[in-house]
Structure 1
């Protein structure tokens, strides 16, 4: 079983969401940083109308058939709205997504403050999700698998 763990993912090259503009000039990653990164990745294709979804996942029109996704984002970061929209698009396509919007968290919060209660909560939520899905698929219960699903 494939699983997708999307932590504060950069999904949309267009930079047109409310949160992308709301957080401009704030935090460790803002609209300027994001535009620079997309231009480095896409070159002349940045912002093109016909950009394929493999280059910018928010451009996908059909998200059916994808593995379950865990989508995590901070409420105080520019990716908030595009990540919430992506989880919603997965649900609309009949897919499975677990969405966490961590209150007051900025981009990369768990790496910036790994000992903070919110960071610990986020790591625990990811682990519970992964274990739950692996148990449902039977992967975590195969002979020789430890409690965390890894082969021992």
Structure 2
């Protein structure tokens, strides 16, 4: 036969620490005198402000909102708006060819390694999010993208 300790019997009967302390349902246990919130900041962390289509995610990585135009004659950054960076891709939108070419082209434009430019969202959509794994700032990325539009 299985023997239960007092604590388990109390939990089975519906009486836990809250009931034995005489607290109403939904109430919290009182904090000990001198207890502090170790490692917790008093106010929640806010993500840094976004620079239009280029944002910094909470973990510190830079992401770019892309509006892809596959099947173009040549690769080019055509426009930088508040919502997205428009990029013409010289690859067909089949079997991920345009996605691979987009990452290759952006790595060249942003002067990063190919492995540092990763498609994060939108594998089958024209609206995509590209994540940059290299340590860089959103301001630098936005400036390089705007320079590409001016060259056009």
Bin the TM-score by the shorter chain: under 0.3
Pick the structure with more strand per residue: 2
Pick the structure with more helix per residue: 1
TM-score (norm 1): 0.23
TM-score (norm 2): 0.23
